[in-house]
Amino acid sequence: MSKDVVMSTTAVPFTSTILGSPRIGPNRELKRAVEKYWAGRIDRDELESVAAGLRRDTWASLVAAGLDSVPVNTFSYYDQMLDTAVLVGALPPRVADVPDDLDRYFAAARGNDDIAPLEMTKWFDTNYHYIVPEIGPEATFTLNPDKVLGELEEARAQGITARPVVVGPITFLTLSKAVDGADAPLARLDDLIDVYSELLGLLADRGIEWVQLDEPVLVTDIVDNAAELAERTYNRLGGLAKRPSVFVATYFGELSDALPALARTPVEAIGVDLVAGTGAALGAVPELADKLLVAGVVDGRNIWRTDLEAALGTLSALREAAAAIVVSTSCSTLHVPYALDAEDDLDPALRSWLAFGFEKVTEVVALARGLKDGRDAISAEIAASHAAIESRKSDPRLNNSRVRERISAIVASGAKRGSADHRRAAQQDRLKLPALPTTTIGSYPQTSAIRIARADLRSGKIAAAEYERRMKAEIAEVIKLQEQLGLDVLVHGEPERNDMVQYFAEQLDGFFATQNGWVQSYGSRCVRPPILYGDVTRPKPMTVEWIMYAQSLTDKPVKGMLTGPVTILAWSFVRDDQPLADTAAQVALAIRDETVDLQSAGIAIIQVDEPALRELLPLRSKDKAAYLNWAVDAFRLSTSGVEDSTQIHTHLCYSEFGEVIGAIADLDADVTSIEAARSHMEVLGDLNAVGFSNSVGPGVYDIHSPRVPGVEEIATSLREALDAVPAERLWVNPDCGLKTRTTDEVTESLKHLVAAAAEVRGR
Ligand code: GLN
Ligand code: ZN
């Protein structure tokens, strides 16, 4: 179909869609199939038939719900950035020799005995992780459209009006990584546009009317010339003689000056996120007058029911801004669970407040009908949404004045500890630790005995008392091991925790754990984030008994082990009816109460982990300082209830710490353990540069790898660290928790760690 024909059809554009959908399967069928394939238990045909079945069901349900344009190519065996790398022929040369294309794909994602995998990192500020494509100096791009054409073929056979979705060229290159001395990948934009041009031509040949190109990077400050890049790219793609109509989707924030730039190009549709952004500028862009505006009014990444009245108001107000309005989710619903009906244990009020992936589709469809036929056409839906919103607003569980008063009182009193010097002296008096104290980050290997005990408890095979007995046996093992190894500060090993956030969420009021609310975190890994719906309170101590038990077995100090407020928020679905800072303060108060109880139980050292501090960092520079302020305040609120002689530790990982390094210093923990093994201690210089002067434990070996580090290697790292930090302030520890390692690996590695510390102490 030629462009002219397509243009004439834009007079009857689509009216309702979503930007993408979950793909793991309503019961994690894809996860199971892919893992079986990796283990050699099913063959490729069987895997492909599971995948095709999931696609078919997804499309059928979207059509049945009433969407008039269905996104395809949003399915993935692992990740959409990796799919795009395959599409444009940008897999790294080191996988080229893997003969089978699917195995090559998985080798790039996960590595194999001979091939190191590509890196993985967070997709913007979500909990989804993508595979980072590598662009070397020799990289050439060639089109490999099999996946997208194959899915379109399937959709056609099913009679679906399909709209292929592809990561856009600006976003693809911006999120890729230059390797082997290549220039920044964006330098290759023009070459890559050639390949996209070829793709668009092929799609037009097949009669595809619309293609969606995702450019979320345009709402961030990762590139500083978003407007120029958008204009250059979409003038070229828009100017092609043979192509489908082009829909450029943006999400996770406000477009700012890339909006008028995109609007000046010949693309037919622009998508904006009206949940994360306000869309305030939309009325002032005259070039939108002949475009479709795809208005993301239904939140694609949180689980709350939409206020349909408000959303319809937003949509109606936009009518003048563009040629036509399409109702959509703000982003792909990849980030939310499939459907509410899988939850049979939900409090009815809470159920009425929620919308998962499927329910969001029905909201989009209702809004599209309301926009077309008027508010009265959906008055029943609006009434139901209104009732849910009123019930949520007035629910006493969201309005606990006592929590709010306690926070104000503590904040008013300063929430401060004594000076760092005073604390150091008081703690040394109490703990009498040697120079270069050795410790670990908290978890020990999750043995099969632990997993069996958890499964047995869940299935009712054993009672709580037996479970507790088995966990205590695990703790006793771990304490014995640490004493044998000669570590200075011990941990209980965290056997009772399935997950460092869920464990606390299950014990705090204000949280709800779903039964089947799985979302993809990366590849085949799925997580089930708790829902933080109400004011947070701690009905009773959460960790004290376990830690006291561990402490009763040893004369060495045992660290209390808690998860910090920012990390608890980052890995939960959070309420959207109050500022995140307020929610963080409530969680912080619960953690603070726990620290005070641990202290009363005689625990002298308490670690409050904040591995997700970097994760919630806003995408726009102007919003970063405010976030870091409340994040630091929440941490301090959670850790300032204890005496100066109680030592507060924190732990951070998963990051380039650059932008948060000042905040790390501001946390003012007495001891900070931090991932450093892979960055060769560089983080220490960065900490010095911001005036950090408390103690620090740079991770001296990488726990993400099964490799056991040698004594000399660790000693060398420690000596390197001593160039940046005096011995009185330096701790010795691995770079993260040990739960993914085997007991043998851990025993050997820690033996070497203790020996290296002894060697360097005596230097
Ligand atoms: N204390 C946790 C553990 O050791 C910290 C995990 C993390 O940093 N992600 O497992
Ligand atoms: Zn960590």
The string of pLDDT tens digits covering residues 527-557 is 999 999 999 999 999 999 999 999 999 999 9
Ligand 1 contact via 739 beta carbon (within 6 Å): yes
Q: Are strands 129-131 and 120-122 parallel, antiparallel or unpaired?
A: antiparallel
Ligand 2 centroid, distance to 642 Cα (angstroms): 24
Cite the DSSP H helix spans in 158-266.
169-174, 189-205, 226-238, 258-263
Interval 737-748 mean pLDDT: 95
Q: Is the pLDDT score of 7 beyond 60? A: no
**End-to-end CA gap in the chain:** 77
Q: What is the reported pLDDT for 682?
A: 87
What gap in Å lies between CA 136 and CA 691, rounded to an integer?
Answer: 37
- Report which bound ligand comes closest to the CA of 704: 2
| Mutate which of 496, 651, 653 for ligand 1 pocket (most atoms within 8 A of beta carbon) | 651
Q: Is the pLDDT score of 206 beyond 90? A: yes
List the beta bridge partners of residue 698. Answer: 674
Supply the residue whose CA is at minimum distance from atom 1 of ligand 1. Answer: 442
- Confidence class of residue 61 from pLDDT cuts 50, 70 and 90? very high
CATH code reported for the domain at 16-23+67-73+132-392: 3.20.20.210
Q: Is the pLDDT score of 10 beyond 70? A: no
Q: Is 365 left (phi over 0), alpha (psi -120 to 50) or beta?
A: alpha
Q: What is the reported pLDDT for 4?
A: 40
pLDDT tens digits for range 455-471: 999 999 999 999 999 99
Q: Are strands 559-563 and 605-609 parallel, antiparallel or unpaired?
A: parallel
Chain region(s) in the chain for CATH 3.20.20.210 = 16-23+67-73+132-392, 426-507+535-760
Supply the residue whose CA is at minimum distance from atom 10 of ligand 1. Answer: 737
Type of residue numbered 295:
A
pLDDT tens digits for range 571-619: 999 999 999 999 999 999 999 999 999 999 999 999 999 999 998 999 9
Q: Is the pLDDT score of 2 beyond 70? A: no
Contact 88, 145 (CB under 8 A): no
Tokens 């959908």 found at: 21
Residue spans of beta strands (DSSP E) within 18-74:
70-72
What gap in Å lies between CA 199 and CA 192, rounded to an integer?
Answer: 11
| Mutate which of 605, 609, 750 for ligand 1 pocket (most atoms within 8 A of beta carbon) | 609
Over the chain, what is the mean pLDDT?
95
Contact 373, 61 (CB under 8 A): no
Interval 172-199 mean pLDDT: 97
User: Which element (helix H / strand E) includes 713?
Assistant: helix 711-724
Ligand 1 centroid, distance to 402 Cα (angstroms): 32
Residue spans of beta strands (DSSP E) within 103-238:
120-122, 129-131, 134-135, 162-167, 177-178, 210-214
Ligand 1 contact via 699 beta carbon (within 6 Å): no
Contact 293, 248 (CB under 8 A): no
CA triple 448-128-329, angle to 5 deg: 135
Interval 327-334 mean pLDDT: 98
Type of residue numbered 569:
L
Percent of the chain at pLDDT > 70 equals 98
Please name the CATH architecture into which domain 426-507+535-760 falls.
Answer: Alpha-Beta Barrel (3.20)
Interval 46-50 mean pLDDT: 98
Helix orientation angle between 711-724 and 743-761, rounded to the nearest 10 degrees: 50
Helix orientation angle between 80-87 and 146-157, rounded to the nearest 10 degrees: 110
- Confidence class of residue 88 from pLDDT cuts 50, 70 and 90? very high
Query: 30 labelled as ligand-binding?
Result: yes
Residue of 753, 756, 750 whose CA lies nearest to 738: 750
Ligand 1 contact via 611 beta carbon (within 6 Å): yes
Type of residue numbered 468:
E
- Confidence class of residue 12 from pLDDT cuts 50, 70 and 90? low
- Confidence class of residue 655 from pLDDT cuts 50, 70 and 90? low
Contact 609, 500 (CB under 8 A): yes
pLDDT tens digits for range 471-497: 999 999 999 999 999 999 999 999 999
Q: What is the reported pLDDT for 763?
A: 66
3-class DSSP assignment, residue 49: helix
- Residue 469 tokens, joined: 């007995």
Interval 394-406 mean pLDDT: 96
Interval 114-123 mean pLDDT: 91
Contact 705, 676 (CB under 8 A): no
- Confidence class of residue 8 from pLDDT cuts 50, 70 and 90? very low
Asked if 704 is an active-site residue, the reply is yes
- Indicate yes or no: pTM above 0.85: yes
Ligand 1 centroid, distance to 441 Cα (angstroms): 6
Q: What is the DSSP letter of 677?
A: G
Q: Is the pLDDT score of 152 beyond 80? A: yes
Contact 686, 724 (CB under 8 A): no
Q: Are strands 245-249 and 134-135 parallel, antiparallel or unpaired?
A: unpaired
